A and B are shown apart, each in its own frame.
Chain A
Amino acid sequence: MKPRGRLLGFYAALVFLFLHLPLLTLAVFSFNASRFTVWQGFSLAWYRAIFHDPDLMESAANSVVIALAATLISVAAGTLCAYALWKRRSRLISAGLYLSLVTPEIVTGVSLLALFQWAFRWLGWRLGLHSVILAHVAFSLAYVVIVVAARLRTLSPTLEEAAMDLGATEWQAFREVTLPLLLPGIAAGALLVLTVSFDDYVITSMVAGVDSQTLPMVIYAMARRGASPVINAISALIVVFFGALILVSERLAHAAEKLS
């Protein structure tokens, strides 16, 4: 390599270090035997502690339920919406989706809180898992629409024409031709919503009820109280879990792409 290329490579290496070193040290110290940030030997005690912490376990279960429900709703609604916009644009809905994407989380959080307080007083409901799920659908729908729309743009509109030409109704053409071809996009959208929903703290903390604490809320509270290697351990688990999920799904997508 030329000297200039080497300089660029060195710079890139430094930026990569900046991106990864904090998470790596965090993970390394999750195996530390000591409670303090001095290495005292290898231990899995903090990982064991996670599973003995009822708050962590309950909130993790809540987070999973919320993420799955929000993903299911967003993916269904978002796919239909992307398809409809592919057929014919709707300036109003596109503008709404864009705005929802750039709305600062805290603004989404307080406006949904205002809505729920107002609407739930009428309905006699209280904040809980349902309000969190609704809030997650509110901010994740646009992600699904964007990802699925990107996939739709790679499809030729003649495919549906061909299906109808061969006797399929609009619904059958959608169901049997477009939908199967959209699956990779839908899966990517689902993955995105799953991770974003599982991770959200700001909006969730505004609209969660006392019985619907999520994992990020508990982690936040623990981090606020002070350092604990248990947070390191659970952080490492989250990073590894989602990292693996992403890598596996990319491999699958790659394999599927090769097949067709």
Chain B
Amino acid sequence: MSRLRSWFLVPAWLWMGGLFAAPFAIVLAYSFLTRGAYGGLDLPWTLESYQRLADPLYLSILLRSFLMAAAATAICLVLAFPLALFISRSGRRRNLYLQLVILPFWSSFLVRLYAWLFLLRDTGLINTALQALHLIREPLPLLYNDGAVLLGLVYGYLPFMVLPIYATLERLDPALLEAAADLGARPFSALWRVTVPLSAPGIRAGVILVFIPCLGAYLTPDLLGGGRSVMIGNLVQNQFTTARDWPFGAAVSVALMAVVTLLVVLFLRRGEEAL
């Protein structure tokens, strides 16, 4: 039994070594090097890149990323919980509604961001329509601000919140709510005291599934923030491309990975693993 298993794990080990551990090891090594004269890498080994993370400029970007991710997660939760509740209570139409949540998620992420670009830009649909109705004269500055980025994040990751919450609500025994009602709980109090606590595993999964990609988001702030609402992901990309400061970019990456790993370890309890 073990012989076949060992062979079957060979590709996974190749992936593990070549495409997972090796790239990250290189980034880790780079983060301790010094930036070379022409943007390359140089000795000596140093902690300087990590010290630069404490620079107020970069600290503000880190803080902003945290706040944006937290806000996006909170909004997603507020939008997703009632929706999941609605779907879990809609009987035979459940699958149809579930498809409606999943379908945009299957289509391209880039296309979904472009849709907002199309709606929000100065010559976009909303501004054009408002101008045509003579409600405004100058286009509203809808794009390239924190609000637009937040909107994009919520739009992009909402299904990640809906699905796990729905999954726990669907498994919820309706008899529990009947029991609560029987014991004199009004519907809202039954919801708050029975349904919400029992869907906690789904909420926890949803929060982690939304918060983590939002924290490391790159494309959303890039397209909808337009360089004015910069997040950690843009900082990393910038250091590796235009700024050509690979050691610093690597240090930011390592720090981001450390935070993400910590969050996953904290949130994922044993027994909830999928593998």
Contact = CB atoms under 8 A, between A and B. Distances in A.
A–B: direct contact at CB < 8 Å: yes
A252 interface: no
**Residue from B19, B21, B128, B253 with most neighbouring chain A CB atoms (10 Å):** B19
A65 interface: no
A141 B5 contact: no
Given A20-B104, A22-B112, A22-B155, A111 B27 contact: yes
Nearest to B10: A80
B19 to A, nearest CB: 4
Contact of A231 (B6, B114, B119, B155): B114
Contacts, number: 249
Given A19-B100, A22-B116, A111-B26, A93 B124 contact: no
A149 B118 CA distance: 40
A138 B261 contact: no
B82 A11 contact: yes
A242 B15 contact: no
Interface in A77-118: 77, 80-81, 83-85, 87-90, 92-94, 96-100, 102-115, 118
A77 B123 contact: no
A75 to B, nearest CB: 11
Contacts of B114: 26, 219, 223, 231, 235
B86 A170 contact: no
Give the secondary structure class of B's interface.
helix
Which bracket fits the contact residues of B? Answer: 35 or more
B19 A201 contact: no
B87 interface: yes
B243 interface: no
Nearest to B128: A37
Contacts of B249: 110
Given A25-B119, A99-B261, A242 B108 contact: yes
A59 interface: no
B135 to A, nearest CB: 16
A36 B123 contact: yes
Nearest to A74: B15
Contacts of B121: 227
B233 A81 contact: no
A15 interface: yes
B124 A19 contact: no
A44 B223 CA distance: 27
Contact of B110 (A5, A137, A219): A219
B258 to A, nearest CB: 11
Contacts of B119: 22, 25
A8 to B, nearest CB: 5
A114 B218 contact: no
Interface stretch (B52-60, B167-175, B208-216): B208-216
Given A96-B16, A115-B23, A9 B111 contact: no
Contact of B264 (A83, A92, A102): A102
Given A11-B83, A104-B256, A206-B240, 6 more contacts: A22-B118, A22-B119, A96-B20, A103-B260, A105-B218, A111-B26
Interface of A: 4-5, 8-9, 11-12, 15-16, 18-20, 22-23, 25-26, 29, 36-38, 76-77, 80-81, 83-85, 87-90, 92-94, 96-100, 102-115, 118, 134-135, 137-138, 141, 145-146, 149-150, 170-171, 174, 195, 198-199, 201-202, 206, 216, 219-220, 223-224, 227, 231-232, 235, 238-239, 242-243, 246-247, 250
16 contacts: A19-B101, A23-B111, A98-B264, A99-B20, A104-B217, A106-B236, A110-B237, A110-B250, A138-B20, A138-B23, A170-B4, A216-B110, A227-B121, A238-B107, A242-B107, A246-B103
